[in-house]
Amino acid sequence: MAIADELQTTIEHMVQAGKGILAADESQPTIAKRFAPIGVESTEENRLAYRALLFTAPGIEDYISGVILFEETLGQNGDDGTPLPEVLARRGIVPGIKVDKGKGPLALSPGDLITYGLDGLAERLRQYKGQGARFAKWREVYSISERNPTPLGISANAEMLARYAAVCQEQGIVPIVEPEVLIDGDHSLARCAEVTEAVQKEIFHALHRHHVALEHMILKPNMVLPGKDHPVRASAEEIAAATLRVFRRTVPVAVPSINFLSGGLSPEEATANLNAMNAGFPHAPWLLSFSYGRALQQTVLQAWQGKAENAIAAQRALLKRARLNGAAQRGEYRAAMEASD
């Protein structure tokens, strides 16, 4: 298949009304942090048990069109020996892979961050594709302070995302472009809007410079929110309006889908905010959906507690959050639905 057709086919499977993406690509330190509160040690066996449970949850294929995996998971097999990416593909769920190697400080630019992992990326992508991955994810992180992100931080991060996206498309892999403006801090919603707008503008300039086909990528941004220590909370409607204002100004309509990250929001907040966008702005030019990690998995981990006998309850918890977020994608979520199983 020609590369453009291959990318288009993957996009069509991933971008569907009422569906979103499950981010299950926690790195080793991050999954250890998620397991710690339920007293589960992060061993290869426990990680496999947990992720196999997620991927085999009955009914999730009605609401989940893609799953982002960590490299280790891409090479693991389920109980019957089937590779986990194939377990997903058989259910009509597109397997993807986190390819960045995490973040660190941007040299000589205090407070700015940069993500590693471009060296050898094309070769790694060829290997991941052979293992079944059809899309990839790369996250750049921006923390807000009085002086950060600096103009240099914003342009350096945009350049990384665009170079990553170009390498992916050259290999027939759909790139998820993830710029995350962090929720940490006491900044206002207006400040988050200002930073997110500057970040998005620079990213689309860079994507253009690097010949990235916008039709064949997915954007995974933060919502526009007040910092978690800001004294004034914002309603879902205020967040939806502020978020859509920024994305209307910056994201070309050629981009098929914006799949938000949950970034530390509670599961209910993440669902309510997405619903407010779809209910309040039904004619947005992109699909507005989710690519949640914590907001889909928090209740699952609580139900599981690392015990095989809790697997079914844990899978039900995942199905519930997937279903509610699927409803939010359609603008049909109501808080009363939280009470049902």
Active site residues: 220
Q: Number of residues in contact with ligand 13P, rule: CB under 6 A? A: 10
Residue 57: CB atoms within 10 A of its CB come to: 22
Provide, rounded to whole angstroms, the least separation between the CB of residue 183 and ligand 13P: 9
Closer by beta carbon to ligand 13P, 10 or else 297 = 297
Say how far apart CA 197 and CA 246 lie, in whole Å: 6
Question: Contact between 328 and ligand 13P (CB under 6 A)?
Answer: no
Burial (CB count <10 Å: 0-12, 13-18, 19+), residue 32:
middle
Closer by beta carbon to ligand 13P, 6 or else 287 = 287
**Which of 52, 198, 212, 261 lies at the binding interface for ligand 13P (CB under 6 A)?**
261
> Given the rule CB under 6 A, which of 112-120, 257-265, 276-284, 311-319 is the region that contacts ligand 13P?
257-265
Please state the separation of Cα 35 from the chain's center in Å: 20
Contacts (CB under 6 A) with ligand 13P, residues 170-189: 178
Provide, rounded to whole angstroms, the least separation between the CB of residue 294 and ligand 13P: 3
Provide, rounded to whole angstroms, the least separation between the CB of residue 175 and ligand 13P: 14
Q: What stretch of H or E contains 180? A: strand 174-181
Which SS3 state, helix, strand or coil, does residue 175 take?
Answer: strand
Residue keyed to tokens 């609580």: 302
Compute the residue count for the chain: 341
**Which of 51, 124, 134, 139 lies at the binding interface for ligand 13P (CB under 6 A)?**
139
Say how far apart CA 338 and CA 19 lie, in whole Å: 18
Provide, rounded to whole angstroms, the least separation between the CB of residue 108 and ligand 13P: 26
Closer by beta carbon to ligand 13P, 22 or else 207 = 22
> Given the rule CB under 6 A, which of 114-122, 189-197, 259-267, 329-337 is the region that contacts ligand 13P?
259-267
Measured in degrees and rounded to the nearest 5, phi and psi for residue 135 equal -140, 165
Provide, rounded to whole angstroms, the least separation between the CB of residue 262 and ligand 13P: 3
**Which of 15, 22, 23, 322 lies at the binding interface for ligand 13P (CB under 6 A)?**
23
Provide, rounded to whole angstroms, the least separation between the CB of residue 153 and ligand 13P: 18
Measured in degrees and rounded to the nearest 5, phi and psi for residue 248 equal -60, -35
Contact 320, 297 (CB under 8 A): no
Say how far apart CA 296 and CA 124 lie, in whole Å: 28
Closer by beta carbon to ligand 13P, 52 or else 68 = 68
Contacts (CB under 6 A) with ligand 13P, residues 266-295: 292-295
> Binding string to ligand 13P for residues 58 to 97, with x set by CB under 6 A, is what?
----------------------------------------
Which SS3 state, helix, strand or coil, does residue 146 take?
Answer: coil
Closer by beta carbon to ligand 13P, 139 or else 323 = 139
Which SS3 state, helix, strand or coil, does residue 270 take?
Answer: helix
Residues contacting residue 121 through CB under 8 Å, at least 6 positions apart: 99, 164, 167
Maximum C-alpha span of the chain:
54
Contacts (CB under 6 A) with ligand 13P, residues 191-250: none
Say how far apart CA 31 and CA 41 lie, in whole Å: 10
* Site residues, ligand 13P (CB under 6 A): 23, 139, 178, 261-263, 292-295
